[in-house]
Copies of this chain bind each other. A is one copy, B any other.
Protein backbone atom coordinates (compact mmCIF):
# COMPACT_ATOMS: atom_id res chain seq x y z
CA UNK A 1 0.00 0.00 0.00
CA UNK A 2 1.25 3.47 -0.85
CA UNK A 3 0.82 6.00 1.95
CA UNK A 4 2.48 9.04 0.41
CA UNK A 5 1.70 10.08 -3.15
CA UNK A 6 3.35 13.07 -4.78
CA UNK A 7 1.97 14.50 -8.00
CA UNK A 8 4.07 16.72 -10.22
CA UNK A 9 2.18 18.12 -13.19
CA UNK A 10 2.32 20.23 -16.29
CA UNK A 11 0.10 23.28 -16.09
CA UNK A 12 -3.27 22.40 -17.67
CA UNK A 13 -2.73 18.62 -17.52
CA UNK A 14 -5.37 18.11 -14.82
CA UNK A 15 -2.74 16.82 -12.40
CA UNK A 16 -4.02 18.92 -9.53
CA UNK A 17 -7.58 17.65 -10.07
CA UNK A 18 -6.28 14.07 -10.26
CA UNK A 19 -4.47 14.58 -6.95
CA UNK A 20 -7.55 16.06 -5.27
CA UNK A 21 -9.89 13.27 -6.47
CA UNK A 22 -7.33 10.58 -5.61
CA UNK A 23 -6.94 11.92 -2.06
CA UNK A 24 -10.73 11.94 -1.61
CA UNK A 25 -11.06 8.39 -2.94
CA UNK A 26 -8.25 7.12 -0.71
CA UNK A 27 -9.36 9.13 2.31
CA UNK A 28 -5.91 10.78 2.47
CA UNK A 29 -5.05 14.37 3.35
CA UNK A 30 -4.54 16.59 0.32
CA UNK A 31 -1.88 19.28 0.14
CA UNK A 32 -1.57 21.82 -2.61
CA UNK A 33 -2.71 25.34 -1.79
CA UNK A 34 -3.30 23.94 1.74
CA UNK A 35 0.47 23.94 2.08
CA UNK A 36 0.77 27.64 1.37
CA UNK A 37 -0.98 28.85 4.54
CA UNK A 38 1.20 26.68 6.73
CA UNK A 39 4.43 27.61 4.96
CA UNK A 40 3.51 31.31 5.15
CA UNK A 41 2.73 31.03 8.85
CA UNK A 42 5.89 29.12 9.77
CA UNK A 43 8.25 31.12 7.57
CA UNK A 44 6.82 34.56 8.24
CA UNK A 45 6.79 35.14 4.47
CA UNK A 46 3.79 36.66 2.69
CA UNK A 47 1.25 34.17 1.30
CA UNK A 48 1.53 35.68 -2.18
CA UNK A 49 5.30 35.19 -2.15
CA UNK A 50 4.95 31.58 -0.97
CA UNK A 51 2.32 30.81 -3.59
CA UNK A 52 4.25 32.28 -6.48
CA UNK A 53 7.86 31.52 -5.53
CA UNK A 54 7.28 28.14 -3.86
CA UNK A 55 7.56 26.31 -7.15
CA UNK A 56 8.45 28.86 -9.82
CA UNK A 57 11.63 30.57 -10.85
CA UNK A 58 11.38 32.94 -13.78
CA UNK A 59 14.46 34.04 -15.67
CA UNK A 60 14.59 37.37 -13.84
CA UNK A 61 14.16 35.72 -10.45
CA UNK A 62 17.03 33.37 -11.20
CA UNK A 63 19.15 36.46 -11.85
CA UNK A 64 17.94 37.99 -8.58
CA UNK A 65 18.82 34.88 -6.61
CA UNK A 66 22.31 34.84 -8.08
CA UNK A 67 22.72 38.53 -7.24
CA UNK A 68 21.30 38.06 -3.73
CA UNK A 69 23.60 35.17 -3.01
CA UNK A 70 26.64 37.17 -4.00
CA UNK A 71 25.39 40.12 -2.00
CA UNK A 72 24.55 38.00 1.05
CA UNK A 73 27.90 36.29 0.78
CA UNK A 74 29.74 39.60 0.63
CA UNK A 75 27.87 41.34 3.42
CA UNK A 76 27.04 38.56 5.85
CA UNK A 77 29.85 36.14 5.22
CA UNK A 78 27.48 33.70 3.50
CA UNK A 79 25.34 33.09 6.57
CA UNK A 80 22.16 34.59 5.20
CA UNK A 81 20.11 32.62 2.70
CA UNK A 82 18.20 34.45 -0.03
CA UNK A 83 14.44 34.53 0.66
CA UNK A 84 13.66 31.95 -2.04
CA UNK A 85 16.09 29.49 -0.45
CA UNK A 86 14.69 30.12 3.03
CA UNK A 87 11.26 29.38 1.58
CA UNK A 88 12.52 26.11 0.08
CA UNK A 89 14.01 24.99 3.41
CA UNK A 90 10.85 25.74 5.42
CA UNK A 91 8.65 24.19 2.73
CA UNK A 92 10.78 21.03 2.62
CA UNK A 93 10.66 20.65 6.41
CA UNK A 94 6.87 21.01 6.42
CA UNK A 95 6.49 18.47 3.58
CA UNK A 96 8.64 15.97 5.52
CA UNK A 97 6.68 16.65 8.70
CA UNK A 98 3.38 15.96 6.91
CA UNK A 99 4.74 12.77 5.32
CA UNK A 100 5.92 11.54 8.73
CA UNK A 101 2.51 12.06 10.31
CA UNK A 102 -0.23 11.20 7.85
CA UNK A 103 -1.24 9.44 4.62
CA UNK A 104 -1.28 12.16 2.02
CA UNK A 105 -1.32 13.34 -1.57
CA UNK A 106 1.00 16.32 -2.14
CA UNK A 107 0.93 18.30 -5.39
CA UNK A 108 4.02 20.08 -6.75
CA UNK A 109 6.75 21.89 -4.77
CA UNK A 110 9.51 19.31 -5.48
CA UNK A 111 7.77 16.92 -3.06
CA UNK A 112 8.85 13.96 -5.24
CA UNK A 113 12.49 14.91 -4.67
CA UNK A 114 12.09 15.83 -1.00
CA UNK A 115 10.33 12.51 -0.22
CA UNK A 116 12.21 10.37 -2.76
CA UNK A 117 13.41 7.75 -0.31
CA UNK A 118 10.38 7.68 1.96
CA UNK A 119 8.95 4.16 2.34
CA UNK A 120 5.52 3.44 0.84
CA UNK A 121 5.72 6.51 -1.38
CA UNK A 122 4.68 6.79 -5.02
CA UNK A 123 5.96 9.64 -7.17
CA UNK A 124 3.90 10.51 -10.23
CA UNK A 125 4.22 13.06 -13.05
CA UNK A 126 1.15 14.02 -15.11
CA UNK A 127 1.41 15.58 -18.56
CA UNK A 128 -0.77 16.03 -21.64
CA UNK A 129 -0.59 17.28 -25.21
CA UNK A 130 -0.62 21.05 -25.63
CA UNK A 131 -4.03 21.19 -27.39
CA UNK A 132 -5.71 19.46 -24.48
CA UNK A 133 -3.91 21.54 -21.87
CA UNK A 134 -4.81 24.75 -23.68
CA UNK A 135 -8.49 23.77 -23.85
CA UNK A 136 -8.59 22.90 -20.16
CA UNK A 137 -6.76 26.08 -19.19
CA UNK A 138 -9.27 28.24 -21.07
CA UNK A 139 -12.49 26.43 -20.08
CA UNK A 140 -11.61 25.38 -16.53
CA UNK A 141 -9.10 27.95 -15.28
CA UNK A 142 -10.29 30.94 -17.32
CA UNK A 143 -6.93 31.65 -19.02
CA UNK A 144 -7.08 34.14 -21.93
CA UNK A 145 -7.48 32.16 -25.14
CA UNK A 146 -5.20 34.30 -27.30
CA UNK A 147 -1.89 33.53 -25.66
CA UNK A 148 -2.81 30.44 -23.65
CA UNK A 149 -0.07 28.21 -25.12
CA UNK A 150 2.57 30.83 -24.42
CA UNK A 151 1.28 31.25 -20.85
CA UNK A 152 1.34 27.50 -20.22
CA UNK A 153 4.86 27.15 -21.60
CA UNK A 154 6.03 30.06 -19.46
CA UNK A 155 4.58 28.59 -16.26
CA UNK A 156 6.04 25.14 -16.94
CA UNK A 157 9.38 26.72 -17.75
CA UNK A 158 9.31 28.51 -14.38
CA UNK A 159 8.48 25.20 -12.66
CA UNK A 160 11.29 23.47 -14.54
CA UNK A 161 13.75 26.23 -13.52
CA UNK A 162 12.71 25.89 -9.89
CA UNK A 163 13.03 22.09 -9.98
CA UNK A 164 16.43 22.22 -11.68
CA UNK A 165 17.74 24.86 -9.27
CA UNK A 166 16.81 22.90 -6.14
CA UNK A 167 17.19 19.27 -7.27
CA UNK A 168 19.73 19.50 -10.11
CA UNK A 169 17.45 17.23 -12.19
CA UNK A 170 15.38 17.93 -15.29
CA UNK A 171 11.69 18.36 -14.47
CA UNK A 172 9.54 15.83 -16.37
CA UNK A 173 12.43 13.36 -16.87
CA UNK A 174 10.86 9.89 -16.52
CA UNK A 175 13.65 8.68 -14.23
CA UNK A 176 12.69 11.11 -11.44
CA UNK A 177 9.34 9.41 -10.92
CA UNK A 178 7.91 5.96 -10.21
CA UNK A 179 5.44 6.54 -13.00
CA UNK A 180 4.35 9.19 -15.46
CA UNK A 181 0.97 9.39 -17.14
CA UNK A 182 -0.46 11.23 -20.14
CA UNK A 183 -3.82 12.41 -18.82
CA UNK A 184 -5.04 12.68 -22.42
CA UNK A 185 -4.54 8.93 -22.90
CA UNK A 186 -6.21 7.81 -19.69
CA UNK A 187 -8.51 10.73 -18.86
CA UNK A 188 -8.63 12.41 -15.46
CA UNK A 189 -10.96 9.74 -14.03
CA UNK A 190 -8.85 6.99 -15.61
CA UNK A 191 -5.68 8.33 -13.98
CA UNK A 192 -7.44 8.51 -10.60
CA UNK A 193 -8.70 4.92 -10.95
CA UNK A 194 -5.27 3.62 -12.01
CA UNK A 195 -3.44 5.40 -9.19
CA UNK A 196 -6.08 4.34 -6.66
CA UNK A 197 -5.56 0.67 -7.55
CA UNK A 198 -1.79 1.03 -7.35
CA UNK A 199 -1.98 2.82 -4.00
CA UNK A 200 -4.25 0.09 -2.65
CA UNK A 201 -2.01 -2.64 -4.09
CA UNK A 202 -4.90 -4.04 -6.15
Which A residues fall within an 8 A CB radius of B? 10, 122, 125, 127, 172-175, 177-182, 185-186, 194, 198
Contact of A177 among B10, B122, B182 (CB under 8 A): B182
- Copies of this chain in the oligomer: 2
Contact, CB under 8 Å: B182 / A178 = yes
- Measured CB to CB, the closest approach of chain B to A2, in angstroms, equals 10
Main secondary structure of the interface of A (DSSP, over half): mixed
Other than the known A10-B175, A127-B175, A174-B177, what 10 A-B pairs have Cβ atoms closer than 8 Å?
Answer: A125-B174, A127-B174, A172-B174, A172-B175, A175-B182, A178-B181, A178-B182, A179-B179, A179-B180, A179-B181
Q: Can you list 22 A-B pairs with a CB-CB distance of less than 8 A? A: A10-B175, A122-B185, A127-B175, A172-B173, A172-B174, A172-B175, A173-B174, A174-B174, A174-B177, A174-B180, A175-B182, A177-B180, A177-B182, A178-B181, A178-B186, A179-B179, A179-B180, A179-B181, A179-B182, A179-B185, A180-B180, A194-B198
Docked pose: A180 CA to B194 CA in angstroms: 13
Docked pose: A109 CA to B10 CA in angstroms: 27
Docked pose: A182 CA to B121 CA in angstroms: 13
CB-CB nearest in chain B for A128 = B175
Contact, CB under 8 Å: A185 / B174 = no
CB-CB nearest in chain B for A121 = B185
Q: Which of A174, A177, A178, A179 has the most CB of B within 10 A?
A: A174
List of B residues within 8 angstroms of A194 by Cβ: 198
